[in-house]
């Protein structure tokens, strides 16, 4: 279940499914990540790709939409405004990842590819699917709808006409490879635009909320 919490004076969104590490989604009010008490705070250059990278000695990650964290010294974050934020934690390997799943990333199954890159057993994964535009507000072309639905075996409840549910499509992709622990955020970035940024509702805003992970 998702709940709001104060982080040094700013409101953040967390899930009670994942309390072992620092993992949260910001609202429109961005938190001061230096308060994490970490070394580096890293964010990739997101391009709606399916490229996922391990955090290493590099400080820059071009053309990257997922970062995997293996050490407790660094923190990672990615930016969102309607696209679906994914946070993963492997409870056995003790590694985490944050990925960015817009419709292109979802079509390329970036969540599944992130877990594969982590070399994790799906049963060991806790997956958080953060605030994103919901089916009520996300109408796409028939071509995009059909492309997204082709990524899963079971499509019931994932679309109505040309409206699609990106959060639940990502969840279904994960379920079909064996991920058992998934928490899906109920908030729609368009309906709940007072809390989160929405690219669609705000006519192409360049402002973003973030998804953050840091190992303990």
pLDDT one-digit tens code per residue, 91-121: 999 999 999 999 999 999 999 999 999 999 9
Domains identified in the chain, total number: 1
CB 141 within 8 A of CB 80: no
Average pLDDT over the chain, rounded to an integer: 97
Instruction: Supply the pLDDT for residue 38.
Output: 77
Find the domain containing 140 and state its range: 2-214
Report the alpha-carbon distance of residue 216 to residue 214 in Å, rounded: 6
Residue 37: Cβ-neighbour burial (10 angstroms; 0-12, 13-18, 19+): exposed
Look at strands 159-160 and 163-164 and give their pairing: antiparallel
Give all strands (DSSP E) within 145-208, no chain letters: 159-160, 163-164, 181-184
The structure tokens 């309390």 sit at 19
pLDDT one-digit tens code per residue, 33-81: 999 987 899 999 999 999 999 999 999 999 999 999 999 999 999 999 9
The CATH number for 192's domain is 3.60.140.10
The structure tokens 């974050």 sit at 77
Instruction: Supply the pLDDT for residue 82.
Output: 98
Instruction: Supply the pLDDT for residue 94.
Output: 98
Going by pLDDT thresholds of 50, 70 and 90, the confidence category of residue 84 is: very high
Averaged pLDDT, 6-30: 97
């Amino acid at each position: 279940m998702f709940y709001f919490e104060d982080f040094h004076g700013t409101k953040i969104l967390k899930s009670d499914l994942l309390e072992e590490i620092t993992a949260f989604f910001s609202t429109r009010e961005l938190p001061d990540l230096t308060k994490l008490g970490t070394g580096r705070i890293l964010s990739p250059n997101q391009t709606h790709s399916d490229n996922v990278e391990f955090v290493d000695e590099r400080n820059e990650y071009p053309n990257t939409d997922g970062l995997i964290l293996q050490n407790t010294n660094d923190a990672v974050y990615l930016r969102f405004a309607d696209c679906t934020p994914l946070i993963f934690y492997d409870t056995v390997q003790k590694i985490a990842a944050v990925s960015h799943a817009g419709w292109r990333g979802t079509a390329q199954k970036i969540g599944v590819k992130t877990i594969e890159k982590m070399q994790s057993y799906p049963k060991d994964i806790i997956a958080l699917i953060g605030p994103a535009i919901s089916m009520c507000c996300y109408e796409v072309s028939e071509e995009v709808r059909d492309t997204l639905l082709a990524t899963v075996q079971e499509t019931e409840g994932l679309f109505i006409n040309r409206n699609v549910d990106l959060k639940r499509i990502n969840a279904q992709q994960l379920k079909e490879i064996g991920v058992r622990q998934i928490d899906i955020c109920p908030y729609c970035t368009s309906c709940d635009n007072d809390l989160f940024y929405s690219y669609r509702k705000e006519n192409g805003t360049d402002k973003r909320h973030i998804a953050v992970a840091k190992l303990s």
